[in-house]
Amino acid sequence: MASPLVIPTLAQAVEHVLTAIEGDIVLGLPLGIGKPNPFVNLLYRRIKAMGSDARPRRLKIITALSLEKPEGKSELEQNFLTPLVERVFKDYPDFDYVKDLRAGVLPAHIEVSEFFLKTGDYLGNERAQQAYIATNYTFVARDMGVLGVNVIAQAVAAREENGELTLSLSSNPDVTFELAERQAAQGKPLLKVGVVNRQMPFMPNHAVAPAGFFDVVVTDAEATHILFAPPNNKVGTADYAIGLHAASLVADGGTLQIGIGALGDAIAQALVVRDKDNAEYRRIMAALSPNGLQGRELGGFEQGLYACSEMFVNGILKLIEAGIVRREVFDDAALQRLVNEGRVPNLAVSADTLAALIDAGRISATLSADDLAFLQRFGVLGNKVRLTQDGALDVAGTRVANRLGDPAVRAALRDAGGLGTRLVGGVVLHGGFFLGPTDFYEHLRSMPPEMLAKIDMTRIDFINQIQGQSRLKQAQRTQGRFMNTTMMVTLLGAAVSDGLESGQVVSGVGGQYNFVAMAHALPDARSILMLRSTYDHKEGVRSTLVWNYAYETIPRHLRDVVITEYGVADLRAQPDGEVVKRLIAIADSRFQGDLVAQAKAAGKLDANYEVPEQHRQNLPEVLRARLQPWNASALLPDFPFGTDLTADELRIVAALRQMQHASQHPAELVAMLVKSLWTDREAPPAYLQRLGLDDATSLRKIVMRKLFAGNL
């Protein structure tokens, strides 16, 4: 590959793109933090300014998960968020195209199409809804090509090595490499722009770009900014209950995928408790599941776990640091099978390792150059072993016959110091992109090289599906537990995860369908969909388990395991009537009667069916009582992995959330208002100043001040 054109300023880089691409620009961007925000904003502004031209150049942006700093919807929220955003998000630059799209002023000659939306942010936004691309994550590179992408721009990490600049795609090697390959194979032009952001962690392995991969590399210091870092969410009682149940399905020596947010943190913390304080974990599970724990995994992790997750989240990092995610996998199907079979105990190399590889047909008894390279790559043989011209083996001057089928020769090779000591090149995590709080990125930037080498950020077509290298993936992904969240589940087992029955898109399918399908394709894997049993609606509490729904993300024929805070429903291979019963058993008891009636009316339950007594106490207050001994304890803390919010900010947030909830429920708001007006409670002056209520003179501000104080 030719050396890239190194451009020192963003302005020059934008000019180069405008000159190099004739006509319209179709710009592909990675999802999440892999976008080069300053470059994108400058290009967007240049083309936006062409709107008054007789024939303006068009810009189409194809991407996903365009992140922006939080903004409060009310004056109180805005006042609260301003100092928090300044402290946590600092110089993170929002996207101009996002601001314009939200405000409804995106120019007519500019389009923005996303295949995954920030959850709920674009409901009711007609242009965003019409431009949404419904596709599996694994098809994104293909679909970008179909849509005519001619520029791909990405934020990259950089490292100086021997005077040369080495680049890493860091968080997002997920789509870019595949897109480049596809375009080249089809003879389609693609201008590849790498924009150096010195805050991006330099990730090794498959994230490292080959020399000359990018056509343009932008080194402007103005392109460096803090990475988007959403603070950890509070993990509530229902979240912990779900996480504890999920953790009891994870097999030692298995494979794990979890997602972001409170549920991901709950699962990770539950796994930590299960491993580090197993006796207490068993007590928690016994309290949580009074009906028994048959078929659950309750022991610690002697073998450890391997993570294969499209999103590398803070919870997985904590599991790596806790020594739970530590099962190493290797990029060779035959070697991985031998490891799985225990023929390389503790990954220690011996003469028997050579014999096992010969028996498996992976190497010949008479080593070829390729065999030697393979053995040295994985540390079976040391680097001082070489093939002589006459085909013998030389170990630092000691000649050894090249007849490794002979035990005596293998022993001679060992005695000459030709064997390695332990397999090398193992990976404990394959991920497609990452996103996390501030300290997550700092941990990656400061991680010792030997630990970082065990994390492989790679292509999404490798992670999210079994097709392609299927023998290797099957060998690596033993006992897979692929955990995803969903919004609703029908009583026949279909899942609603990304859209509403009106057709409005909440987020996107992402990789969920792929992981569900993969769980059915792998012989010992399970798909686990998790959801809280209820959600808060303006008309009152609603059940997330419903009889039916006019939209689905995962069809009922792929139903597997569903978890709510009230338990686990194993749906695989079960007939419809049993599926209905098992899902009702983990529904909130306030809605079980209606669900039973609907199922009976549809002929899916016997007319005399009644919910078993042991499942009739699925109520929030009962759940809280069961977990009360551990609530907010060192084992189940509100923020198991810390938070960027101060103690005072957490108090303010709690009060504001109660006020926001009441504002959507008139009766509750009236009761709250009466209670607040009849008390003399006052908020600390610093809190009032933060919210702009310290000089409350208008009736509205006086009422808000009383409400806030009453909810502290």
Same domain, 440 and 555: yes
Q: What is the mean pLDDT of residues 681-688?
A: 86
Q: What is the mean pLDDT of residues 198-207?
A: 98
Q: What is the mean pLDDT of residues 338-367?
A: 97
β-sheet bridge partners, residue 489: 495, 545
Which residues neighbour 543 within 8 Å (Cβ) at sequence distance 6 or greater? 533, 534, 587, 588, 590, 591, 594, 595
Same domain, 443 and 480: yes
Within-domain flag for 115: yes
Same domain, 408 and 440: no
Q: How far apart are alpha carbons 678 and 435 in whole angstroms?
A: 46
Helix (H, G, I), strand (E, B) or coil at 496: strand
Q: How far apart are alpha carbons 137 and 116 in whole angstroms?
A: 9
- Whether the pLDDT of residue 675 is over 80: the answer is no
Same domain, 588 and 506: yes
- For the ranges 55-59, 62-66, 331-335, the lowest mean pLDDT is seen at 55-59
β-sheet bridge partners, residue 312: 434
- Position 445 scores a pLDDT of 97
Within-domain flag for 283: no
- Whether the pLDDT of residue 673 is over 90: the answer is no
- Position 458 scores a pLDDT of 97
User: In which band, very low, low, confident or very high, does the pLDDT at 93 lie, cut at 50, 70 and 90?
Assistant: very high
- Position 54 scores a pLDDT of 81
- Position 345 scores a pLDDT of 96
- Position 292 scores a pLDDT of 85
- Position 704 scores a pLDDT of 83
- Position 267 scores a pLDDT of 98
Contact status, residue 411 vs residue 288, Cβ threshold 8 Å: no
Within-domain flag for 702: yes
Same domain, 497 and 606: yes
Cα 668 to its chain centre, rounded Å, is 36
Q: How far apart are alpha carbons 477 and 514 in whole angstroms?
A: 14
- The 3-state secondary structure of 71-114 reads CCCCHHHHHHHHHHHHHHCCCCCCCHHHHHHHHCCCCCCEEEEE
Residues shown for the chain: 712
- What's the token pair of residue 328? 């190493």
Domain housing 242: 237-257+428-623
Same domain, 494 and 604: yes
How confident is the model over 204-238, as pLDDT tens digits? 999 999 999 999 999 999 999 999 999 999 999 99
Which residues neighbour 280 within 8 Å (Cβ) at sequence distance 6 or greater? 273, 630, 635
Within-domain flag for 304: no
Within-domain flag for 476: yes
Same domain, 187 and 66: yes
Contact status, residue 561 vs residue 528, Cβ threshold 8 Å: yes
Q: Which of 72, 46, 71 is nearest to 59 (CA)?
A: 46
- Whether the pLDDT of residue 678 is over 90: the answer is no
- Whether the pLDDT of residue 1 is over 70: the answer is no
Mind giving me the DSSP string for 408-464?
HHHHHHHHTT-B-SB----BSEEEEEE---HHHHHHHHHS-HHHHTTEEE--HHHHS
Same domain, 484 and 609: yes
Q: Which of 236, 232, 246, 119 is nearest to 564 (CA)?
A: 246
Q: What is the mean pLDDT of residues 671-678?
A: 74
Considering the entire predicted model, what is its pTM? 0.94
Helix (H, G, I), strand (E, B) or coil at 381: strand
Q: How far apart are alpha carbons 346 and 285 in whole angstroms?
A: 31
β-sheet bridge partners, residue 194: 154, 217
- Whether the pLDDT of residue 584 is over 90: the answer is yes
User: In which band, very low, low, confident or very high, does the pLDDT at 672 lie, cut at 50, 70 and 90?
Assistant: confident
- Position 454 scores a pLDDT of 98
Mind giving me the DSSP string for 6-51?
EES-HHHHHHHHHHHS-S-EEEE--SGGGS-HHHHHHHHHHHHGGG
> What mean pLDDT is reported for the chain?
94
Within-domain flag for 245: yes
- Position 697 scores a pLDDT of 80
User: In which band, very low, low, confident or very high, does the pLDDT at 667 lie, cut at 50, 70 and 90?
Assistant: confident
Alpha-carbon Rg of the chain, whole angstroms?
28
Q: How far apart are alpha carbons 710 and 712 in whole angstroms?
A: 6
Tell me which residue has tokens 């405000």.
103
Q: How far apart are alpha carbons 646 and 427 in whole angstroms?
A: 36
Kindly tell me the sign of the dihedral angle through the C-alpha atoms of 567, 572, 576, 577.
negative
Same domain, 384 and 484: no
User: In which band, very low, low, confident or very high, does the pLDDT at 53 lie, cut at 50, 70 and 90?
Assistant: confident
Which residues neighbour 95 within 8 Å (Cβ) at sequence distance 6 or greater? 35, 37, 40, 41, 44, 66, 68
Q: What is the CATH number of the domain that holds 247?
A: 3.40.1080.20
Same domain, 452 and 405: no
Strands (DSSP E) contained in 462-575 are: 480-485, 488-490, 495-496, 526-530, 534-537, 540-543, 545-546, 561-564, 567-570
Q: How far apart are alpha carbons 570 and 587 in whole angstroms?
A: 14
Q: What is the mean pLDDT of residues 397-426?
A: 95
Provide, rounded to the nearest whole percent, the portion of the chain with pLDDT above 70: 100
- Position 283 scores a pLDDT of 96
Kindly tell me the sign of the dihedral angle through the C-alpha atoms of 319, 323, 324, 327.
positive
User: Which of 365, 385, 415 finishes a domain?
Assistant: 415
- Position 388 scores a pLDDT of 95
Q: What is the CATH number of the domain that holds 55?
A: 3.40.1080.10
Tell me which residue has tokens 């393979």.
374
More confident residue, 524 or 80: 524
Within-domain flag for 265: no
Q: How far apart are alpha carbons 640 and 4 in whole angstroms?
A: 44
- Whether the pLDDT of residue 649 is over 90: the answer is no
Count up the domains in the chain and report the number. 4
Report the DSSP pairing between strands 480-485 and 151-161. unpaired
How confident is the model over 3-32, as pLDDT tens digits? 899 999 999 999 999 999 999 999 999 999
Report the DSSP pairing between strands 429-434 and 455-457. parallel
β-sheet bridge partners, residue 693: none
Q: Give the angle subtended at the CA of 78 by the CAs of 76 and 83, to the nearest 5°.
A: 110
Same domain, 219 and 241: no
- For the ranges 25-39, 123-137, 495-509, 676-690, the lowest mean pLDDT is seen at 676-690
How confident is the model over 368-387, as pLDDT tens digits? 999 999 999 999 999 999 99
User: Which of 365, 393, 415 finishes a domain?
Assistant: 415
- For the ranges 134-148, 263-277, 330-344, 661-675, the lowest mean pLDDT is seen at 661-675
- Position 397 scores a pLDDT of 93
- Position 569 scores a pLDDT of 97
User: In which band, very low, low, confident or very high, does the pLDDT at 555 lie, cut at 50, 70 and 90?
Assistant: very high
Same domain, 504 and 570: yes
Taking phi first (over 0 means left), then psi (-120 to 50 degrees means alpha), and beta for anything else, what does residue 333 get? alpha
Q: How far apart are alpha carbons 663 and 652 in whole angstroms?
A: 16
Within-domain flag for 289: no
How confident is the model over 247-297, as pLDDT tens digits? 999 999 999 999 888 999 999 999 999 999 999 999 999 999 988 898 899
DSSP 631: B
Helix (H, G, I), strand (E, B) or coil at 685: helix
